[in-house]
Amino acid sequence: METAEIRRRFLAHFERAGHTPVPSASLLLDDPNLLFVNAGMVPFKPYFLGQETPPYDKATSVQKCVRTPDIEDVGKTTRHGTFFEMCGNFSFGDYFKERAIELAWDLVTKPQSDGGWGFDEARLYPSVYVDDPEAVALWRKITGLPDDRIARLGKSENYWSMGVPGPGGPCSEILIDRGPAYGADGDFSAEDRYLEFWNLVFMQDELSAVRSKEDFDIAGSLPKKNIDTGMGLERVAFMTQGVENMYEIDVMFPVIRMAEQLSGRRYGADPVDDVRFRVVADHVRSGMMLIGDGVTPGNEARGYVLRRLLRRAVRSMRLLGYEDPALPELMPVSRDKMGETYTDLHTDWDRISRVAFAEEEAFRKTLQAGTHIFDLAAGQVKQAGGTRLAGDQAFALHDTYGFPIDLTLEMASEAGLSVDEEGFRALMGEQRQRAKDDARSKKGQHADTGVYRGILDGHGPTEWLAYETLETESRVLAVLAGGVGVPVLREGEVGEVVLDRTPFYAESGGQVADAGRLVADGALLEVLDVQRPVRGLVVHQVRVLEGELVQDATLHARVDPAWRTGARQAHSGTHVVHAALREVLGPSALQSGSYNRPGYLRLDFGWTTALDPDQVRQIEQVSNAALRADLPVGWQYMTLPEAKDWGAIALFGETYDNTKVRVVEIGGPWSRELCGGTHVDHSSQIGTIVVTGEASVGSGNRRIEAHTGIEGFDYLARERDVVGQLTTLLKTRPDDLVGRVGDLVERLRAAEKEVEKARLAQLLAGGETIAAQARQVGPVHVVAHRVDGAGGGDARTLAMDVRGRLPQGEPGVVVVIGVVDDKVAVVAATNDAARERGLSANDLVRAVGPLVGGKGGGKADVAQGGGTDASRVGEALDLVVAEVGRTAGA
């Protein structure tokens, strides 16, 4: 049975049972604790946590998921992959254990001819939580299985919790026995033998005092018992398709087949190669799906995960012996299979392929540069008589050049060297800890959301009126400082305030929060920031300017109208620039991120090449033409499928309501986007759009910056003032300014060349004198000379000139040390006769390097180094003479 058919039967089965089918959410959700959606229930968390009322009492979905903790282990086992699809059915207080078990068992065991999956009951084993006798009785009742066919497992396997106070409950899994070839009879910890493919979570308990996922107290029962199930689509696919593992199913194995053709190697012939083939199949698919949902390669967070996946796929192809560009051959194969379900892969292929292929090209350059650095490092180790590449060298290759450690290991082995892996891992661990500490600090006071959930549970959601008004009369529901409730905020203190109703826009969708004031009886507070730490609750960060604020106080909340006007102009301006961008570059130029504050906008978009000045000018012209046309700006609510059918653009990484979304349009179909921000009523109210910059922000991603409104006019005024000052200074007209400045630049460059030529001639003029002062050290003519004011280039030029002036056919060594602002440049040069006597420029530079606080190296004829200690240059020159004498036997 093909994967698409398994998916179709799952959804049809639960739809017939009254479940509302819900489309897969994006892999990117607005959850501070998750990089990606990693389970089918994630989009439904607000319902399970009681933060929102579900629009249906039961639902079913097939959710795209990505899990990243064990990327390095992908392919080494045959059970886990990075991207996978989780089939789920969910009940929000409707049915519970008995119905959940009935529905699961019916689909799994029903013959394929009747629309089921047709699993052999004799091979199926339910598992239950060891302290859940009710589940045991229900499995016996529904399936007729004997007691010894129902496995009892502990908390680590069969109790679900999120690791924080809230809902939890026992689980029940369906396992399939794959036979004695995969493990011992009755050994349910042998996952290859008894493979779990369906997990039913019976969400019935209210957890408190949670010390870990397995150590907590059960405070009582939930008022509504819920069902959350997860079924691994890929696992069912490989079991119904008669293959060994998920990598061999119909939507993944074609990539392996293509990799076989490209590499000339065969899957199944070599266990090491098999891991590489599986990495390719998984990472090509995972990378494609992430790009499809708006991720672009980068060095942080989601972008770094994508970069690792794509580069590991390319690297694995290299290890399989294929060194040409691989993704253009492999990714279309994955697109054709996954695109049968996810049609956006076809319609958005131009953007997806451009991002992926550009990343591979960048990595190929990285490999080239890293290989050169590795060769130098390996050569130094061998020259020093060592056999091991240091951990810090391997880390530098990884961290600075993006060189994977396993590629370093492979190349080191080929060079007859080992690698200090422990040192490398220690440095990697330090880097990860720094990243965790940084991420923790950035989460700030909203990292622990328990206090906010308590406020939401006690008072309900905030009445949010940012679209309707700039002012409200409000009541203070809670006052917090340092993340905990306090009775009062006093003058000068900074804290947080939760109101029953607010006109303030909370930061989201790239738009910064509103600024304004809260005025109570005898108190004045400045609003510094507005956030939604949990869905439905608006929290104001404030500074008390006068008086003090207490809970239950009544106050007047007022948004700064000038601030809101500027924010509306910038946000609507972002939509206009996005539409102009797509008009100039084409529909694949899609926004991947934005930031708006009053008078300023920043828009990131997927594109692999820099825009030329004409394109930037066109984007600005199209934008301002839209403003001049005074296009109407409107918004309306509809379901997400309706919005997509209407042509609205859903921006990457944004979270949208399951039942209704807000579509903002400017000029009708010219610009239609899903957006929750504040906007002007007509495009002319934006005032102006002045593009101030276009630059790269990572592989496959560009950024446009612009000013809007009065800030845009101010920017133009400043530009005008600069032009005016230059025309006065240069005594020319504005239209002639570029030519006049260009002429001055050319004259300046010509003058600099003449100065440089004269300086170099002066430097070399002393070469003959310096050569004539060579010391005789045994049979060797030695020049050891200091030149103040000479950098590395000058020192090298002088050393080569002096070497050429030494007696021909006789051994000669030249060492020139230049000093500029206490920075030291060392250059050594030897002639053929000196090298025949064993003298090496590389050895001389390495010998004197520590004396001047540096190091260096090179070849036997010419070598160069540097340092930071000019106080010991004299000692260094004396050491040169001593080293020559020792080596030449003088």
Question: In the numeric block, which tokens belong to residue 292?
Answer: 């499809």
Contact 821, 869 (CB under 8 A): no
Q: Please report how the helices 233-240 and 3-16 are oriented relative to each other, as an axis angle in degrees rounded to 10.
A: 120
Largest CA distance in the chain: 106
Contact 708, 636 (CB under 8 A): no
113: three-class secondary structure by DSSP: helix
Tokens 């199926």 locate to 124
Distance CA 130, CA 199 (A): 15
Question: In the numeric block, which tokens belong to residue 711?
Answer: 């800030």
| DSSP per-residue codes, 269-308 | S-HHHHHHHHHHHHHHHHHHHHHHTT----SSHHHHHHHH
* Alpha carbon of residue 82 to chain centroid: 15
| DSSP per-residue codes, 152-206 | EE-HHHHEEE-SSSEEEEEEEEEEEE--GGGS-TT-TT-TTTEEEEEEEEEEEEE
Strand partners for 463: 501
Query: Which residues of 738-799 form beta strands (DSSP E)?
Result: 775-777, 780-788
Residue 577 makes CB contacts below 8 A (sequence gap 6+) with 601, 603, 619, 623, 689, 691, 704, 706
Closest CA to 513 of 592, 598, 443: 598
Question: In the numeric block, which tokens belong to residue 302?
Answer: 């989601």
Distance CA 595, CA 584 (A): 21
Work out whether strand 548-550 and strand 516-520 pair parallel, antiparallel, or are unpaired.
unpaired
Contact 624, 688 (CB under 8 A): yes
Task: Find out whether 540 is annotated in a ligand binding site.
Answer: no
Closest CA to 635 of 627, 643, 623, 644: 643
User: For 43, which DSSP code?
Assistant: G
Residue 251 makes CB contacts below 8 A (sequence gap 6+) with 3, 237, 285, 334, 337, 338
Task: Find out whether 459 is annotated in a ligand binding site.
Answer: no
Work out whether strand 823-830 and strand 812-820 pair parallel, antiparallel, or are unpaired.
antiparallel
Print burial letters for 763-802: b (CB count within 10 Å at least 16), e (below 16): bbeebeebbeebeebeebbbbbbbbeebebebbbbbbbbb
Neighbours of 730 (CB within 10 A): 14
57: three-class secondary structure by DSSP: coil
What number of H helices and E strands is found in the chain? Answer: 26, 35
Question: In the numeric block, which tokens belong to residue 657?
Answer: 């309501």
Contact 36, 49 (CB under 8 A): no
Give, in order, the Cα–Cα distances in Å from 254 to each of 344, 357, 447, 840.
Answer: 20, 20, 43, 56
**Phi and psi at residue 657, to the nearest 5°:** -60, 145
Degrees to nearest 5, angle at CA 778 with 773 and 784: 35
Distance CA 150, CA 135 (A): 10
User: For 789, which DSSP code?
Assistant: T
Tokens 């206490």 locate to 822
Task: Find out whether 283 is annotated in a ligand binding site.
Answer: no
Work out whether strand 151-153 and strand 124-129 pair parallel, antiparallel, or are unpaired.
parallel
Question: In the numeric block, which tokens belong to residue 58?
Answer: 């039961």
Annotated binding site: 571, 575, 675, 679
Q: Residues at the annotated binding site for Zn(2+)? A: 571, 575, 675, 679
